[in-house]
Structure 1
Amino acid sequence: MKKITILDTSVGTLNMGDEIIVDSVNRELKKLFKERTMYIKLPTHERISRYSHRIINDSNFSFVAGTNLLSSKHNLIRGNQWRINLLDANKFKNVILMGVGWNNYQDNPNFYTNLVYKKALTEDYFHSVRDSYTKEKLKSIGITNVHNTGCPTMWELTKEHCSGIPKKKAESVVFTLTDYNKNPEKDSKMIEILNKNYNKVYFWIQGSEDYEYVNSLSNSVIFVNPTLRSYDDLLESDEDLDYVGTRLHAGIRAMQKKRRSIIIGIDNRALEKQKDFSINVLERDDISNLEVLINNDILTDINLNMDSINAWREQFFTHESLV
């Protein structure tokens, strides 16, 4: 029997976007490892215990489940979003990145970060990263066994799938904002434009402080509860619905459900995905252009790098006893 460990970025998270990512990671891994496979989940937001180390070492593979948890300045004692240190990294076996990204635009990794990542990440298999920026950051510290696959949330956004996403504006919209990256002036302008152009305006509470922030800006929105199930229920309903917002993976989830989506770019994640994969992004600094954009036809045409995705997948097919 195979043992697959998922280093799960959604355990203990205050951001429901992590659940969107891990849902897609689970889907893709179950395509790869179909029979007689036990999946074990360990948190990335907590320190690695002795028990967790034993599970990792007993597993055939351990996959780091997406998000932007890599950073140029890894904390010496507690790590960053990925709570590991050099002692942890030295004990790892077959730890593989799966659609992981870099925390933000940063300087090149420092010496300690170099040591931790080179020890933690296997040299024997290719890693999957979410954009070319992350690939270049890893290359700068000598980690070159990397494919730029994009996030697993995007791997099913094929030409055929995207052809089913409407081009024209819907009657209603669901939007998001980001509690840790606020711009009251621009965010209020976005809400104003949405209220002017849509009959119903929903707000999905993705982060732990989103509700308080939006309440400080507007009293004219319909709140969607902070669970992925609640968001999916809206996306899967008969409501004629667009997505607009600063939360990248809320927008990708909407595209998964064949909803027209405009990502409002506020950091490196959306901007790098726009460069690499042609997702529809409007930078928040240009929010005054939103009204024109939403009232025009929008083509969703994601430029997936299927060669990289398939190359990353196929490395596991060579181990016939494992797949």
Structure 2
Amino acid sequence: MSQLSKNQVTLFDTSIATNNVGDEIIMDAVNREIYNVFAANRICRVASHDKIGISGLSLIRHSDFGIVGGSNILSSKMNKYKQWKLDLFDVFFIPKNVLLLGVGWRQYQQQTNLYTKTILQRILTTEALHSVRDKYTQQKLADIGIHNVINTGCPTMWTLTKTHCDTIPKTKSDKVVFTLTDYDCDEKADKQLVDILLRNYKEVYFWPQGRLDASYLQRLTDAKIHIVNPNLKSYDFFLENNDCDYIGTRLHGGIRALQKGRRTVIIGIDNRAIEKQKDFNLPVVLRSEIDTIENIINSDLTLDIAIPLEDINRWKNQFSK
């Protein structure tokens, strides 16, 4: 940042006004990186999933950057899918200083519409490199003329180095914690997953990452399954104090398990997990291949996650200039 730096950054916080605890996992990693990179700066926050308001717009205007932290917050039709609660009024008052950090694109989508192209070209900075979570997102931005973008993966993965992954057990535990996804149900495949886990583990635990995950599980089975309380602190405590595996459809529930050193298989149900598997070799099995899970559970698992450390450091180091 220049000598005329405002010495302030404002973070679009994706964990505010959400019922998905996965957003907290993302922001935990975003906060870690922001506090490291911008240690000498004032760090302010506005909600991304709710209206910004006049005070929030003022914070962004008086910041060097408004940083968007993670989540699949971009889409081809931002006028219809408004996870990021921006409108044309906001865009008029936001300077061209918005910076992406580990951001992703919602689902596989067709051509980006003019409304979205106009908003993103209007607010995304051209003075720094943006960080996105996969090549698909990078390409979607390139398609609308935004090329100052590098693929760093999601910040939740930045600590999953070879040294860390080598500490994760390769063989099956007696316990498993699993997840399901309330907004993307496949009752046949999801019930098959539950039945496989009940057959192969002595103790089975379920963590409801989303608001309706627990009620969805009740529709699938009446088997005795232990429930981990539906908040991040309880999930962390469980992972830190139990020798267990993680298997489930919640991407960031699985990444959290990897962060905590637990043997993990993520069931891929959308572009987020699928693209991370393509780009970084995250341990993902498609839900359409659920028949293979039993064999995978009972085999040795060796992680070979490829973290793009060079590009991660490029994103971090650009601010020291």
TM range (shorter): over 0.9
Tell me, yes or no, if structure 1 residue 65 matches structure 2 residue 69.
yes
Alignment partners' CA distance in 1, 2:92 and 2:279: 33
RMSD, aligned α-carbons: 1.1
Amino acid in the other structure paired with 1:32: V
Alignment partners' CA distance in 2, 1:58 and 1:32: 19
Cα deviation, residue 178, structure 1: 0.3
Partner of residue 18, structure 1: 23
Alignment partners' CA distance in 1, 2:109 and 2:68: 21
Cα deviation, residue 307, structure 1: 1.3
Alignment partners' CA distance in 2, 1:47 and 1:124: 26
Question: Is the contact made by 1:96 and 1:122 (CA closer than 8 Å) also made in structure 2?
Answer: yes
1:143 to 132, 146, 151: 146
Q: What SS does the aligned partner of 1:100 have?
A: coil
Percent sequence identity over aligned pairs = 49
1:193-212 aligned at under 5 Å gives the runs 193-212=196-215
Cα deviation, residue 68, structure 1: 0.2
Cα deviation, residue 4, structure 1: 2.1
Cα deviation, residue 218, structure 1: 1.8
- 1:10-53 deviations in Å (ceiling 9; x for gaps): 10101000000000000011111223x32212101112211111
1:198-277 aligned at under 5 Å gives the runs 198-219=201-222, 220-237=224-241, 239-277=242-280
Question: Is the contact made by 1:86 and 1:115 (CA closer than 8 Å) also made in structure 2?
Answer: no
Alignment partners' CA distance in 1, 2:194 and 2:295: 15
Q: What SS does the aligned partner of 1:230 have?
A: helix
Question: Is the contact made by 1:3 and 1:40 (CA closer than 8 Å) also made in structure 2?
Answer: yes
TM-score by length of 1: 0.95
Cα deviation, residue 105, structure 1: 0.3
Alignment partners' CA distance in 2, 1:315 and 1:91: 26
Question: Is the contact made by 1:86 and 1:119 (CA closer than 8 Å) also made in structure 2?
Answer: no
Cα deviation, residue 90, structure 1: 3.3
Partner of residue 286, structure 1: 289
Question: Is the contact made by 1:262 and 1:282 (CA closer than 8 Å) also made in structure 2?
Answer: yes
**Residues matched between the structures, number:** 314
Alignment partners' CA distance in 2, 1:17 and 1:50: 28
Cα deviation, residue 92, structure 1: 2.1
1:46-57 aligned at under 5 Å gives the runs 46-57=50-61
Amino acid in the other structure paired with 2:49: H
Alignment partners' CA distance in 1, 2:312 and 2:92: 28
1:83 to 82, 85, 91: 85
Cα deviation, residue 89, structure 1: 2.1
1:2 to 7, 28, 31: 7
Alignment partners' CA distance in 1, 2:192 and 2:221: 11
TM-score by length of 2: 0.96
Q: What SS does the aligned partner of 1:109 have?
A: coil
Alignment partners' CA distance in 2, 1:199 and 1:120: 52
Amino acid in the other structure paired with 1:158: T
Q: What SS does the aligned partner of 1:107 have?
A: coil
- 1:105-130 deviations in Å (ceiling 9; x for gaps): 00020111100111121111111000
Amino acid in the other structure paired with 2:46: L
Alignment partners' CA distance in 1, 2:231 and 2:25: 10
Question: Is the contact made by 1:175 and 1:204 (CA closer than 8 Å) also made in structure 2?
Answer: yes
Alignment partners' CA distance in 2, 1:21 and 1:202: 22
Partner of residue 3, structure 2: none
Cα deviation, residue 277, structure 1: 0.2
Cα deviation, residue 154, structure 1: 0.4
